[in-house]
Structure 1
Amino acid sequence: MTRKQKATTTAWLIVIIAFLGGLALASAQNKVPPVIDVVMADFGIGETDAGWLTSVFTIMGMITALPASWLLQRLGAKKIGVISLACCAIGCALGAFCTEFWMLLATRVIEGVGVGMIAVVGPAIISMWFPAEKRGLPMGVWGSWMMASQTILFFFGGGLAANWGWQGVWWFVFILCVIALVLYQWKVKEPDGDMPNYAEGEDPEEFHFGEGFKSGSTWVLTACGLIFTFCCFGFATYISLYWAQEFFAGDMNQSNWWVSVMYAIEVPVVILLGWVMNHIKLGNRRFMGVIGFALYTFILFFCFRMEDPALLLPFIIIYPFLEGAIPTAYWTMIPSTAKKPEYAGTSIGILNVGLNIGTLLGPPITGFFIENYGWAAATVPLAIASVVGAVLFVFVKTYYHGHSEGSMTPEEQAIMDEQQAKLAAKAAK
């Protein structure tokens, strides 16, 4: 095996392990909805308190995302990944023994710390092993972590709870976290020796955390991500309930099964779209986000207006392509919105703050419209937000970090020339 082949094999092994880590932590985040009725009955709580078991993750994600990007520079991707998975495993294990609601809520905070950090580490370590022009496919694999966890939990959560109570789901996720932790500790590493680190810039001593906030493009893409999670979680929170009422005579189990099928379709879709991104020039990748949002607008406006059962199957097939295009675009592009490669982790951290804010706002605002104005009215804020997202994506600019050939825009060429001039001046000194 040549050195290049070995590096490629190692890079893809790390992508798979990073995905498994994300899958484990996303499963921790998503493990409440499939068994929410069992949890409510066991603890004697209402819908509001039960909702906190999920939303507390969002709060911790906002708190830990930016520190994770700083710690990434200090401790490295491997250690942060191990810490993330350990926090989640500990939280799951403690949670399985809880008999009081406030204790269970506290363990969810511990789990949320891990989720906030892994969302930064996963894309960051992929950026280290893959140059910008080849990140589309691995980022597509990474971008499927959330819908893969939703698919697994909606398929198996009910069965686990039927046999072992809600604790069965907690222990299932604990096992996933431990497996991913062992793999992280065993195989994940940053490029060393003759292997290039594509996220490495100048000397680590010259890293200044605040400089990572100065890329306007990072903030524009973060706004796009915020809008996307506002829309997709506003949709995902209520679509099963809508289908149950509209098509299945109130049968949530049957409705949940169709939702899981929809997200199962989305997993290979985002990987396929990632492969497509590899064949699009760096400066043109934003148009996948533009087109994705534009088409997403139509299906969002339609989602709570379906009345004909014959439309259900076409919707389930089409929706994953429209939803999947947007996160594939922003996960692939976010490292390149940093003006220098060493600030890619900061850009990813900023994006994750935006994603968590959107997740926090989408469900309650959508629920407010459903409760007060009806299902059809709830599609209006979702569609309007999606239009804004399409417009903002047009203004996302990426910076060339010096790893591709023949794929630069004039702006990216200018950035590269400036960086090379600085390096040459530094070497002369």
Structure 2
Amino acid sequence: MTKKQKTAAAWVVVIIAFFGGFALANVQNKTPPCLDVIMLYFNIGETDAGWLTSVFTIMGMVTAIPASMLMRKLGPKKIGAISLACAAIGGIIGAFATDLTVLMATRVLEGVGVGMIAVVGPAVISMWFPAEKRGLPMGLWGSWMMCSQTLLFFIAGGLTTAFGWQGVWWFCVAFCVVVLILYMWKVDAPPAGTPNYAEGEDEEEFRFGDGFKSSSTWILTLAGTIFTFCCFGFATYISLYWAQTFFNGDMNQSNWWVSIMYAIEIPVVILIGWFLNHIKLNHRRFVGTVGFALYTFILFICFRLNEPGLLIPFILVYPFLEGSIPTVYWTLCPSTAKKPEYSGTAIGILNVGLNIGTLLGPPVTGYFIEYYGWATATVPLAVASVIGAVLFIFVKTYDHDSSKADARVGQGNG
């Protein structure tokens, strides 16, 4: 296989892996666009609605690290197929739920899929692309959530009007099935001889516990936890807030504007990924620091905004402030492992943190909204964002380029 063919094959795999993340992100994000209908259907308040949004992350936390271990044994094709199948089955059962407890249980099953796919995508990219070339594909991967939020906030109103909240559930099931077929067709580890080919390593050299010894991985994970706490606390309720504040309770109109906001964020994260390819690996963390610092300000005003003339500027600015953070942590994560064979473990640890933040963000934000009002709910989001900015400063990366490492060893021996 020529270099050009390998590059083309790498991008095909990465694009399909991205659609796997896109499908599972749809499963994750399907409740906020029809939150008002679900709250009426099950007669629940904002706090319970927040748990319905985030409860699936329980299994995401449980499966993230085992998924990184299974990746070594089963490969990305099988793990991706299992994750998509779990999400589809959970969605089918959930579409028939008439009891909140049953629906919550199906969300947990769907979380198995989300926890696994979030490991598969970055792992596939780290297999096919060297560290200095990962910025752009990780930027594409980092847009999976924004693509999902754009799509669902755009179509959920029509589906809910025509078929109830269950229409959104069935759409997500169909999406997962289509992507499952694509996964089985094309996604796999790179062939032997590819520079980042990681299979066939001496198992005696791989000690799973050593993957937990990088303090940098844990610092990055804590920053990622804070980000998902903030962004899902925001995303779960922003459409409801705009509907009540600007659109006389019309969620369809509010969803449309939220969809535009996340549509803008898609090219933003890809552009940031391209930018990261052109700066040194150990300087990329500062993009996260600046992004978090600026993100703090917009989080503080997000549920205080009540002037209609400021809505469009908010929609235009928000994607640039939020979009930089996930692109940076996905790009840095494999390189926070001290050795390349532990990159999968680092990704698993990061995903545990991301799921914890996703679990806590919506119900905590919903609690403050329900009992203290919209404006007060911005305070924990802003405070957390400040901490995230500080943490990024201390993220350290390791050079996994074997040729450079060998050269350094040779110099040392000389």
User: What TM-score range do you get, normalising by the shorter chain?
Assistant: over 0.9
Structure 2 counterpart of 1:396: 395
CA-atom RMSD, angstroms?
2.4
Amino acid at match of 2:8: T
Deviates more, 1:116-125 or 1:49-58: 49-58
Distance in 2, Cα, partners of 1:317 & 1:201: 47
Change (3 A) 1:249 1:218: same
Residue 76 of structure 1: SS of its match in structure 2?
A: helix
Residue 399 of structure 2: SS of its match in structure 1?
A: coil
Checking the alignment, whether the CA contact within 8 Å between 2:46 and 2:370 is kept in structure 1 is no
Distance in 2, Cα, partners of 1:246 & 1:36: 16
Structure 2 counterpart of 1:92: 91
Structure 1 counterpart of 2:165: 166
Distance in 2, Cα, partners of 1:416 & 1:72: 30
Structure 2 counterpart of 1:302: 301
Structure 2 counterpart of 1:409: none
Amino acid at match of 1:280: I
Cα shift at 1:147: 1.4
Amino acid at match of 2:103: L
Cα shift at 1:75: 1.3
Matched, 1:319 2:318: yes
Distance in 2, Cα, partners of 1:311 & 1:7: 47
Structure 2 counterpart of 1:59: 58
Checking the alignment, whether the CA contact within 8 Å between 1:201 and 1:340 is kept in structure 2 is no
Deviates more, 1:164-173 or 1:386-395: 164-173
Deviates more, 1:249-258 or 1:324-333: 249-258
Checking the alignment, whether the CA contact within 8 Å between 2:27 and 2:172 is kept in structure 1 is yes
Q: How many residues align?
A: 413
Distance in 1, Cα, partners of 2:196 & 2:141: 19
Structure 2 counterpart of 1:125: 124
Distance in 1, Cα, partners of 2:169 & 2:372: 37
Checking the alignment, whether the CA contact within 8 Å between 2:139 and 2:327 is kept in structure 1 is yes
Change (3 A) 1:89 1:363: closer
1:228-247 aligned at under 5 Å gives the runs: 228-247=227-246
Structure 2 counterpart of 1:248: 247
Distance in 1, Cα, partners of 2:82 & 2:360: 28
Residue 56 of structure 2: SS of its match in structure 1?
A: helix
What TM-score results when the alignment is normalised by the length of structure 1?
A: 0.90
Structure 2 counterpart of 1:196: 195
Deviates more, 1:65-74 or 1:103-112: 103-112
Cα shift at 1:323: 0.2
Change (3 A) 1:370 1:97: closer
Structure 1 counterpart of 2:106: 107
Change (3 A) 1:19 1:404: farther
Checking the alignment, whether the CA contact within 8 Å between 2:95 and 2:166 is kept in structure 1 is yes
Checking the alignment, whether the CA contact within 8 Å between 1:131 and 1:404 is kept in structure 2 is no
CA deviation vs aligned residue, 1:13-69 (integer Å, no higher than 9, x gap): 011101110111111111122233444454555555544432221111111111111
Distance in 2, Cα, partners of 1:45 & 1:383: 27
Matched, 1:384 2:383: yes
Distance in 2, Cα, partners of 1:240 & 1:22: 23
Amino acid at match of 1:303: C
Checking the alignment, whether the CA contact within 8 Å between 1:19 and 1:145 is kept in structure 2 is yes
Structure 2 counterpart of 1:408: none
Change (3 A) 1:243 1:102: closer
Task: Give the unaligned 5+ runs of structure 1.
Answer: 406-412, 425-429
Distance in 2, Cα, partners of 1:210 & 1:254: 50
Higher relative contact order (CA 8 A, sep 6+): 2
Structure 2 counterpart of 1:18: 17
Cα shift at 1:161: 2.4
Change (3 A) 1:350 1:375: same
1:29-428 aligned at under 5 Å gives the runs: 29-43=28-42, 48-197=47-196, 202-402=201-401, 417=408
Change (3 A) 1:45 1:250: closer
Change (3 A) 1:394 1:18: same
Distance in 1, Cα, partners of 2:249 & 2:49: 21
Structure 2 counterpart of 1:427: none
Amino acid at match of 1:214: K
Task: Give the unaligned 5+ runs of structure 2.
Answer: none
Cα shift at 1:404: 8.2
Cα shift at 1:264: 1.0
Cα shift at 1:199: 5.1
Cα shift at 1:5: 0.4
Cα shift at 1:277: 0.7
Cα shift at 1:366: 2.7
CA deviation vs aligned residue, 1:129-149 (integer Å, no higher than 9, x gap): 000011001001111111111
Checking the alignment, whether the CA contact within 8 Å between 1:230 and 1:362 is kept in structure 2 is yes
Deviates more, 1:210-219 or 1:395-404: 395-404
The percentage of aligned residue pairs carrying the same residue is: 72
Checking the alignment, whether the CA contact within 8 Å between 1:225 and 1:330 is kept in structure 2 is yes
Distance in 2, Cα, partners of 1:398 & 1:198: 20
CA deviation vs aligned residue, 1:353-401 (integer Å, no higher than 9, x gap): 1111112222233333334443333322222221111111111000000
Distance in 1, Cα, partners of 2:303 & 2:30: 25
Cα shift at 1:248: 2.3
Change (3 A) 1:416 1:97: farther
Distance in 2, Cα, partners of 1:404 & 1:254: 55
Cα shift at 1:421: 9.9
Change (3 A) 1:167 1:351: same
Cα shift at 1:247: 2.2
Change (3 A) 1:175 1:193: same
Cα shift at 1:403: 5.8
Structure 2 counterpart of 1:410: none
Amino acid at match of 1:152: L
